[in-house]
Structure 1
Amino acid sequence: MTKKITNPEILAIRAAADVDPACGRVWVGLDVGLKSTSVCVLDRDGKVVHQVSMKTHPTEIGRYLAKNFASNVAVVGMETGAMSAHLADGLRRQGYQVAVMDALQVHRVLSLKRNKTDTNDARGIAEITRTGRDYLTEVYVKSAACYEVRAQLIMRHRLVQQRLANENMIRGLLRVYGGRVEPGAKSSATYRERVVEQLLIIQDHEGLNLRPRILPVLDLCERLQVDAERIETELEALAAANPICRRFMAVPGIGAITALSFFTAIEEPSRFRRADDVAAYLGLTPRVYQSGESLTHGKISKMGNRLTRTHMVNAATVLLSATKTFSSLKDWGVRLAKKVGFNKAKVAVARKLAVILFGMWRDGTHFQFKSETVEPHRQMMQAARA
């Protein structure tokens, strides 16, 4: 049996909604925790209607809102976090409008309060949702399919990092005994042969048998590489099946991993007004500080997705140093590297690549190796669609 509502504030807001739906609208703030979530509900005047703590689950929160406030919930607000995507997706499926705001910006607003508690944070988030959404960045929540691909990219990246860390650890241990593993091994089998060779040399010269300690780590490196290659094969198949990623991979330096990383980082190109906004979204544009007569351009902001930014910079490095095909982009990057250095040039090329990939995606065009053919090709594609 459903428990009867006795809270006078909730009853008053429901009665006001029966008379005029605009008077009964409420704004909800969620301070999300791993196990429990603090909920604060404000009316249109900013007064607290109800505060409660409940289990962090969209069904529990949705049931509470539906029972107490019917269809009068204007917006449900929360900050970005580990559970925000799951909660936002679940609440949206129940018909609620959800605003997910940048956690760093929300933290700066909430830091004005003297006491930091979950209850105060929930009320602050509700107040931001009611009045301050125009001043804070609202975060786009990606689809479940997009997160699945992102999870594969992250797992592959972690496996590669762990293998490299273990290999570097082995190199460091062998140097203590005078061993030196030659760099440049392209496979774990080649690396294993070089390490075993050094182990035998150390045993002959020093009389130390390090194989019982080193060989298990080498086995782990091989397993990590096998798992990383398996995930990479799956990602290559996904990229080959995606027509947009196939066009991305026609760009010099862009492989399946970078194409999927960029595709899943953006997912919906229509949410960007300009192509330059994509570079800023990925943290590839310089910070700007202006005060009075001073105007300073600093290093890149590094604000967006770190993994995708790394992939874009790696692609720019390959474009500048490994590709043999001529392109106006490479020519520009090489000339820039001579002026400002390779490290700054590769970041600038990565920024250009992000803009180019977004333009190809938005306009349905293909990569042009010469800059003078870009505009005619775009006009031709627009005419074909018309």
Structure 2
Amino acid sequence: MNKYNETFGVDISKDVFDAHGSKNGHSQFKNDEKGFKAFLKSLPVQALVVMEATGYYHYRLAQFLYKNEVVVSVVNPLSVKRFIQMGLAKVKTDKSDAKAICNYALRNDVPLYTALTDVQSECLQLFRLLDSFIKHRTATKNKIHGEETLGVPSKAVYRSLKRNKKHLDKELAAIEERILSLVKKDQQHQLTLLTSIPGIGVKTALFLIVVTDGFSKFENASQLCSYVGITPVIKESGSSVKGRSKISKVGNKKLRNLLFLCSFNACKHNRACKGIYERLVNKGKSKKLALIAVSNKLLRQAFAIAKSGKPYDDEFVSVLKK
């Protein structure tokens, strides 16, 4: 049974956000500081506000409400989408979506939101900028290669591309240095622990610490693996449907990709990961599936080591199995 006096579902867009209260119905506010204050003023005591994770748009409102001691939940948009589909809804508007989010919260246990610290917030912004610059640099490098293959490349174009790449290299180095300094300030010990795991590099360790809030957001390794999206999904029904097992991919894509890249090195130098990789490959499983299993193992090792406070030790297998 819902323990809150009233539950609100919120659908956020660029300029406005629609709110649907379980008792008071629909209302709309401007998606700015003035609108936030008006919404806050309209909330009854002991209210629950639920919204979807929608990138930039939900973040400001969630942070504002949390800092004003309102109970907030940020839910996975896919979960709400599935809930709406089960209801066979024929109308989709911002107003109907807000009502659907409200109904979803009334019928399900929703996770409570914890505001990001200033360090976490800056680190996540820096990681997003880092990704954007890396993609830009890759495109620039490909363009340079294309120009070099031409019979008579333009010197002006070639020099411009070279200058652009040099500038991006400098910016990327500065961003990585800033992230490292921020995390070291608060989580130096945990950073040292995670980088002791063969296969886990500094970048992956930094991102793990930031998105998990030093692993405090999760009670066990299974919850963390589900969050990242590297838990297996099995499709079987009766005797006729035998679908291929695959990972869920409902989770943090950035972290999932980083762990997959780490798995290549881990299956060579991390004894436990190497054993899993070789065992699966010898059973006839694909190398990609084996690397995903290694990614899962790496994440579980990271969780166990972060929680135990002890560095990686090949001989201390019991800690890593927890």
Under TM normalisation by the shorter chain, which class is it? 0.7 to 0.9
- Contact 1:235-1:256 within 8 A present in 2 as well: no
Shift of 1:106: 1.2
Matched letter for residue 255 of structure 1: G
Aligned equivalent of 1:75, options 41, 48, 63: 48
Label 1:222 to 1:327 Cα distance change in 2 as closer, same or farther (>3 A): same
Superposition pairs of residues 1-386 of structure 1, within 5 angstroms: 25-43=5-23, 49-57=24-32, 60-66=35-41, 68=42, 70-71=44-45, 73-81=46-54, 82-111=56-85, 112-129=88-105, 131-134=106-109, 138=111, 140=113, 143-144=116-117, 145-175=119-149, 177=150, 202=151, 208=152, 210-241=154-185, 242-267=188-213, 269-293=215-239, 294=241, 296-321=243-268, 323=269, 327-334=271-278, 336-337=280-281, 339-370=284-315, 373-375=316-318
Matched letter for residue 143 of structure 1: L
Q: SS where residue 27 of structure 2 aligns?
A: strand
Q: How far does the alpha carbon of each residue in 1:157-211 deviate from its partner, in whole angstroms, 9 at most, with x for none?
A: 3222221221112223433x3xxxxxxxxxxxxxxxxxxxxxxxx4xxxxx3521
- CA root-mean-square deviation: 2.9
Distance 2:254 2:112 in 1: 18
Shift of 1:23: 12
Shift of 1:374: 3.0
Show the counterpart of 1:197: none
- Contact 2:209-2:215 within 8 A present in 1 as well: no
Label 1:285 to 1:69 Cα distance change in 2 as closer, same or farther (>3 A): closer
Label 1:117 to 1:174 Cα distance change in 2 as closer, same or farther (>3 A): same
Q: How far does the alpha carbon of each residue in 1:235-294 deviate from its partner, in whole angstroms, 9 at most, with x for none?
A: 333454421111001111222211011112222635434312322221112222243455
Matched letter for residue 96 of structure 2: N
Q: SS where residue 90 of structure 2 aligns?
A: coil
Label 1:225 to 1:262 Cα distance change in 2 as closer, same or farther (>3 A): same
Shift of 1:70: 4.2
Structure 2 stretches lacking a partner, 5+ long: none
Shift of 1:354: 0.2
Label 1:288 to 1:209 Cα distance change in 2 as closer, same or farther (>3 A): closer
Show the counterpart of 1:205: none
- Range 358-367 or range 334-343, more displaced: 334-343
Distance 2:193 2:7 in 1: 44
Question: What percent of counterpart residues are identical?
Answer: 22
Shift of 1:298: 2.1
Shift of 1:62: 4.3
- Range 351-360 or range 155-164, more displaced: 155-164
Q: SS where residue 114 of structure 1 aligns?
A: coil
Q: How far does the alpha carbon of each residue in 1:337-370 deviate from its partner, in whole angstroms, 9 at most, with x for none?
A: 5553543332221110001101111222221123
Moved beyond 6 Å, runs of 4+ = 376-379
Q: SS where residue 235 of structure 2 aligns?
A: strand
Label 1:337 to 1:224 Cα distance change in 2 as closer, same or farther (>3 A): farther
* Count of residue correspondences: 313
Greater relative contact order, per chain length (Cα 8 Å cut-off, separation 6+)? 2
Distance 1:341 1:114 in 2: 42
Structure 1 stretches lacking a partner, 5+ long: 1-21, 44-48, 178-201, 203-207, 380-386
- Structure showing greater radius of gyration is 1
Distance 1:152 1:77 in 2: 27
Matched letter for residue 113 of structure 1: A
Matched letter for residue 6 of structure 2: V
Matched letter for residue 108 of structure 2: R
- Contact 1:76-1:97 within 8 A present in 2 as well: yes
Label 1:142 to 1:359 Cα distance change in 2 as closer, same or farther (>3 A): farther
Matched letter for residue 121 of structure 1: D
* TM-score computed with the length of structure 1 as normaliser: 0.72
